[in-house]
Amino acid sequence: MKNRMIGNLPKIGIRPVIDGREKGVRESLEKQTMNMARAAAQLIEKNLRFPSGEKAECVIAETTIGGVAEAAKCSDLFRREGVGVSLTVTPCWCYGTEVMDTDTLVPKAIWGFNGTERPGAVYLAAALAGYNQKGLPAFGIYGRDVQDAGDTSVPGDVKDKILLFARAGLAVAMMRDKTYLSLGYTSMGIAGSMVDPDFFQKYLGMRTEFVDMTEILRRIEQEIYDKEEYEKALKWTKEKCAEGPDPNNDPSDRERKDWEWEIVVKMTLIMRDLMIGNPKLAEAGFGEEALGRNAIAGGFQGQRQWTDYYPNGDFPEAILNSSFDWNGIREAFVFATENDSLNGVSMLFGHLLTNTAQIFSDVRTYWSPVSVKRVTGVAPAGKAANGFIHLINSGSTTLDATARQRDTNGNPVMKPFWEITPEEVDQCLEATQWCPGNKEYFRGGGFSSQFRTAGEMPVTMSRINLIGGLGPALQIAEGWTVELPDEIHKLLDQRTDPTWPTTWFVPRTGGNGPFRDVYSVMAAWGANHGAISHGHIGRDLITLASMLRIPVCMHNVDEATLFRPAAWNAFGSNPEGADYRACENFGPLYGTK
C-alpha cells in the first residue's frame, strides 16, 4: 500500500471553532468543542482510505479558534501539513466571518451541533450566510435530532454527511496538480479524445501531457523498459492469459501471434512507465524516461494510426485497469481506450470515490423485451424483464468486471485491491480469454479480452460531456449488472463482436424524463462511452461534481438524499435548475467563469 503519485496524500483539516469570549464562556466550551473535532477525525480515519490503500489522515487545529488570529494560525498549520479538505465543527455561537476558512481552493463544510444549551445551529446558519456572501460555497451539516450538551456521539445522519463530504473532498484534492497523459490524440474523430487542456486545468486542477505514440515504438525498439520485469511479465502472461478463438478468416501464424504477445506485454510496461515512471530505467541510463508524467489517469489513441500497423492496446489497457498483474495485487490504473479523456475522467471519479477498478464500455445497444423475444425466442426475466443495455468494448474493461470477487455473503462484487484474494485473481483470469484481434478493426493484430460479467451487482454508469456554450455536464445512471441465461446471451453477444467483454446493464427506472424506461436512458446518453463503477455512487458523484462546479444533467438518485453546498439553495427550488445556475455563477473551481 503505497501512493504512486508524486507528493504526499492530502489530509483533512478539522477546525474546532468556539465563542471567543473568555472568563467563563470560552472556558466552558473548550472540552466539548475539541471533543467534536476528535470525534469527526476518528470517524474519518476509521472509515476512509485512499485508492492506494493508505488510511485517510486528519489534522486538528492546535487550539480552538475563537477569532482571526487563531484562524490564521490554523490556516498556516493546514498549509504546512498539506490539508486539502476542511471541516469546521462547533457546538456553539462563534464570530462568523472572523473564524471562517477563506481558502478558495479547498472544499469546506461546517458541522453545527444540534443542541439546545448553546446555539450551534445559529452559528451554522450565520456562518453559511457569510460563506455564501463571500462566494465561498460550503456544505452545511446539521443533525436531525437534538442532542444533550454532554453527548459526544456522532449521529448517524451526521456521520453519513461527514463521510460523503470527506470522500468527495479527498477526490478533489487528489486530482489537483496531477496529470492526464494523452498517448496519441484523437481516435476516429471521437470528440472525447480531443483532449481539452482548459477543462482539465480549470475544473480539475490537472495538467495534460501529450506524448506521440511513436514514443512507445521507440522504447520497444531501443529496449527502454525493465528487461527483467518483461521476462517475468511474459512468463505470467503465457501461464495466466489463455488464448481464445480466432475470429479471422485469415488467421496469423503462430510465429506472428507470439510476436504480438511480446509486443503487447512491452506496451503494458511502457504505458505504465510513461504514467508513473520507473526507477529501474534510471539504473539502465535512462534518467529522463524514468521520471514518468505523474499521471493519475491516461488514455491511448490506438485506432487507427497505431492499430492499422501494430498490435492493438486491448491487453495493456485491460491489464492496467485491473487490480492485479504479474507483480501481484495492486491498485488499478485509470486508462481510457481510444484516448477518450472524458470517459477517463468519469472513470477517475469512480476510482477515487470507491477505491475500485473501473469498467470502460461502449454504450452499444438497447435490447427491448420484444426484440429479445424475436431474436432468441425467450423473454427476458427478473431485472432484465423490461429490457437492458449491452455494454461492450475492446480495450479498457477491467478484468475485475468478470465479477469473480465475492463479499462476505458470497455476492459478486468488485473490491478495493487490498480485499482481493489471490484465489479471486486466478478466477478473474480463468474467466477471461484473449481472442486474436478482429482484423476488420485491428489490421495490426493484438488480443482482445473476452468474458461476461457474472451475476447481479449494483453499479453506477457515468459520463462527462463537454457542451458548446455550457462547458462540462455529468450524466449518472444507477442500476445493476444482470446475467442473462446462456441461450439469450450467446445469440445477442454473437450479433456484435464475441471477442470483446460483455456487461449487461439495467438502469433503475420508473422516474420521469430520461428514466421513464431503459430505452429512454439509452436514448438520452450523451456519448458513445460510459464509465461503470461498482456500487450505487450517484450521490457521491453529485457531491463531487458540485465541488468542481460541474452541473449534473441526468441522474436517478433520490433528490431527498442529495448533498450540495448550502449556496445552491439560493438558486431556485428545482434542484437541477439550481445546480446549473450555481455552477455558472461560481465558475470552475480553478478558473474563471
Positions annotated as catalytic residues are: 338, 362
Report how far residue 337's alpha carbon sits from residue 346's, in angstroms, rounded to the nearest whole number.
Answer: 13
Element (H, E) at 491: helix 486-493
Tell me the β-bridge partners of 360.
531
Q: Which residue has the cell 498490435?
A: 311
Which set of grid coordinates corresponds to residue 566? 448550502
* Nearest Cα to Cα of residue 556 among 462, 449, 440: 462
Task: Give the integer Cα–Cα distance in Å for 92 and 120.
Answer: 4
Q: In angstroms, how far is CA 161 from the centroid of its own chain?
A: 19
Q: Report how far Cα 564 is from the mean position of its chain's Cα atoms.
A: 18
Q: b/e map of 183-222 (b: 16 or more CB within 10 Å)?
A: bbbbbeebebbbbbeebbebbbbbbbbebebeebbebbee
Q: What is the 3-state secondary structure (H, E, C) of 138-173?
A: CEEECCCCCECCCCCCCCHHHHHHHHHHHHHHHHHH
Pick from 519, 513, 510, 560: which is nearest to 539 by CA? 560
Angle at 458 between CA 403 and CA 56, to 5 degrees: 90
Among residues 315, 536, 331, which one has the least CA distance to residue 433?
315
Q: What is the CA radius of gyration of the chain?
A: 25
CB under 8 Å to 482, separation ≥6 — which residues? 382, 383, 384, 388, 456, 504, 505, 506
Cell 462568523 appears where? Answer: 96
- Three cell numbers at 164? 460523503
- Give the H/E segment covering residue 210: strand 207-211
Give CA–CA dist 477/568, Å, rounded.
22
Taking CA atoms, 57 is separated from 40, 241, 361, 536, 573, in Å, by 11, 39, 34, 25, 37
